[in-house]
Amino acid sequence: MSEAHVFPVPQDAAANAHIDSTRYKEMYARSIADPEGFWGEHGKRIDWIKPYSQVKDVSYDPHDVHIRWFHDGTLNVAANCLDRHLETRGDQTAIIWEGDDPSVDARITYRDLYERVGRLGNAMRDMGVKKGDRVCIYMPMVPEAAVAMLACARIGAVHSIVFGGFSPDSLANRIQDSECVMVITADEGLRGGRGVPLKANTDKALESCPSVKHVIVVKRTGADVPMKKGRDHWYDAATAGQPVDCPAEEMNAEDPLFILYTSGSTGKPKGVLHTSGGYLVYTAMTHEYVFDYKDGEIYWCTADVGWVTGHSYIVYGPLANGATTLMFEGVPNYPTTSRFWEVVDKHKVNIFYTAPTAIRALMRDGEDPVKKTSRESLRILGSVGEPINPEAWMWFYNVVGDGRCPIVDTWWQTETGGILISPLPGATDLKPGSATLPFFGVCPVVVDNEGKELEGATEGNLCIAQSWPGQMRTVYGDHERFVQTYFTTYKGYYFTGDGCRRDEDGYYWITGRVDDVINVSGHRMGTAEVESALVAHPKVSEAAVVGFPHDIKGQGIYAYVTLVAGEKETEELRKELVKWVRQEIGPIASPDIIQWAPGLPKTRSGKIMRRILRKIAENDFGSLGDTSTLADPSVVDDLIDNRPS
Ligand code: WT7
């Protein structure tokens, strides 16, 4: 190992882990040399109704992109997460729910979860929801969110979860795109002691969503919300009289399991489509090996089910493995910044998986809020969502983990379904800031801008050369966009949109997005989406949005705004525009900085030179590069002179 900071696998971790370094090397080599044999074997970790005889049928050829795994097998995902555990662990806790208020929590056994899912599945069927129908879930972090996902899976409906922080408009767009027939929501969410008006937002969204016939509403806070007769049903009333057994739909491995909208570099968010068999095999297997999950352990992923991390590593992976998974409704700093660690102690959490932005925010408060808790139950720590800077890594390792818990820095994407590059706790020596090595079956490739594969220690664009079972299958309703986005930039590869460095030990260091996607507190935003929200304001004529380095959020949102002629650049309007974007997209899209830009740097053909705008946003005026091709080079000086400090 060449780098100064290397943390070797602890002896006891290696001895007791599912995978040690010898086994990793053997299994990895086999997974690449013989993917059919490898996945043919590991596909058996889940229960199939009709076993598959075919393992892999994949083409990355832009003329014929198709991705199929286990495609003559049939199964039911919910039955894999519930029914098959009943005999051996029916009374084991499946979900520990920790409410926003520290005095509120609940434990749900596998049998209880099976029954709740059955009741809701039956209620949904009674309302006419059938196999293949899309159902939107717009929920707070309550157990009913997981119940709703599994009930969809049970009856073969395709869920589309929309994060509770999205606005009515964003919700409406997503519902319309996939023509959902039902929305499952709550009266209100509760985060950090504050209500989130989910039902009110749903009502507003549904004014423009004729496909939705029924709304099921979980009572969370008891807020007074209007219920529309014939359309809206209280969850408790709808499920109360239903039988607990709900026959599981027999699904093909390639039948859709869910759609999840995510931002791209252009246009509106894409409906990333994941299917049933390969996704479940991949999330279950990565959950077991990456977190070295052992029977009986308490596992906590702090994500929201509105993001892919919640799908794969709060619900599907852990429940397929019969794990005990903790669902947290609240936020890291409520009531105090000790909350995470108090929850760890309260529920004796063994494996803790969170995001760098949370770690950085908590670091600001110093060690005391951490050190006054025990955390002795912790064994493994995990990080996801954005690059973790070595300083945050060291704090996580030393302060949170007391220097004894390996950190798995897991790199993956909504599109990948599960973790692709990550250490395995018993196998991989750690380097702070590196996602380290590929998971089984994953073949990372670094290419230059012309698509030439680079060898050895190098830096470039990260692609993946072979399919893995958890890969997305298409963009819902727009296969051409799927092909264009991921398979045309670099022929023969899946293009991730990330840049990366590979060091002399073959370790991968993700350097961030190389496209117009930014990562704000681990939330993915398309700059184009924020721009179109801004220009929708009557006083804005043009807008250009870029990311800039932000101490806590990783990246912040920097917007250059040109007003329509005659409008005044006032502080009041600045505030109004921030509020406007929050309303259009949601709070996560709030611009951190708005700079008035009487002109934007454009080429003579009218293309905005974002490279220059990024540099100005980064306060890096020394390396603006060639500005001579600009239609009006003087706008650059003006932007520099007027950059808000
Ligand atoms: C983008 C995907 C994967 C679930 C959460 C985000 C960035 C993610 C890491 C990591 C460096 C990371 C990448 C990726 N990212 N994990 N461990 N190290 N970067 O899913 O919203 O689809 O975003 O998040 O840039 O492309 P997502």
Tens of pLDDT, residues 366-412: 999 999 999 999 999 999 999 999 999 999 999 999 999 999 999 99
**How far does the centroid of ligand 1 lie from the alpha carbon of residue 412, in Å?**
5
Q: What pLDDT was estimated at residue 607?
A: 87
Q: Is 6 annotated as a binding residue?
A: no
Statement: residue 602 has pLDDT above 70: yes
Does position 325 have pLDDT exceeding 70, yes or no? yes
What proportion of the chain, given as a percentage, has pLDDT over 70? 99
Q: What are the domain boundaries of the chain?
A: 521-642
Q: Which of 413, 498, 588 to mutate to test the pocket of ligand 1 (most atoms within 8 A of CB)?
A: 413
Q: Is 193 annotated as belonging to a binding site?
A: yes
- CA dist 460 and 389 (Å) reads 19
Class of domain 521-642: alpha beta
Is 122 labelled as part of a ligand binding site? no
Q: Is 524 in the pocket of ligand 1 (CB under 6 A)?
A: yes
Residue 498 in contact with ligand 1 by CB distance below 6 A: yes
Mean pLDDT of the chain: 96
Residue from 393, 461, 510, 527 to probe ligand 1 pocket by mutation (most atoms less than 8 Å from CB):
510
Atom from ligand 1 closest to the CA of residue 524: 21
Nearest-atom number in ligand 1 for the CA of 523 is 21
Cα–Cα distance, 562 to 540 (Å, whole number): 6
* 3: pLDDT strictly greater than 70: no
Interface predicted TM-score (ipTM) over 0.90: yes
pLDDT band at 5 (very low <50, low <70, confident <90, very high): confident
What are the structure tokens assigned to 227, written together?
């219920």
Residue that has been written with the tokens 């219920």 in this structure: 227
Q: Is 385 annotated as a binding residue?
A: yes
> Is the distance from the beta carbon of residue 414 to the nearest atom of ligand 1 less than 6 Å?
yes
Sequence letter at residue 306 = G
User: Which residues 6+ apart lie within 8 Å of 418 measured at CB?
Assistant: 279, 282, 283, 286, 312, 317, 412, 439, 468, 470
Bin 101: left if φ > 0, else alpha if -120 < ψ < 50, else beta: beta
Closest protein CA for atom 8 of ligand 1: 385
Q: Is the CB of 468 under 6 A from ligand 1?
A: no
Decide: 38 and 450 in contact? Cβ < 8 Å.
no
User: Is the per-residue pLDDT at 2 higher than 60?
Assistant: no
Q: Does the pLDDT of residue 277 top 80, yes or no?
A: yes
- 388 CA: nearest ligand 1 atom: 18
Residue 266 labeled ligand binder: no
87 burial type by CB count under 10 A (0-12 exposed, 13-18 middle, 19+ buried): exposed
Per-residue pLDDT, 231: 98
Percent of the chain with pLDDT over 90: 93
Residue 572 is labelled as binding a ligand: no
Alpha carbon of 596 to ligand 1 centroid (Å): 31
Binding residue per annotation — 309? yes
Which of 273, 302, 314, 412 maximizes ligand 1 atoms within 8 Å of its Cβ, making it the mutation to test the pocket?
412
Tokens, residue 301: 């992923």
Q: Tell whether ligand 1 has an atom less than 6 A from the beta carbon of residue 471.
A: no
pTM for the model stands at 0.96
Residue 433 labeled ligand binder: no
The reply to whether ligand 1 has any atom less than 6 angstroms from the CB of 311 is no
Angle, CA 255 vertex, CA 252 and CA 257 arms, to 5°: 125
pLDDT of 445 higher than 90 = yes
pLDDT in tens, 457-483: 999 999 999 999 999 999 999 999 999
pLDDT score of 520 more than 70? yes
Q: What are phi and psi of 225, to 5 degrees?
A: -120, 140
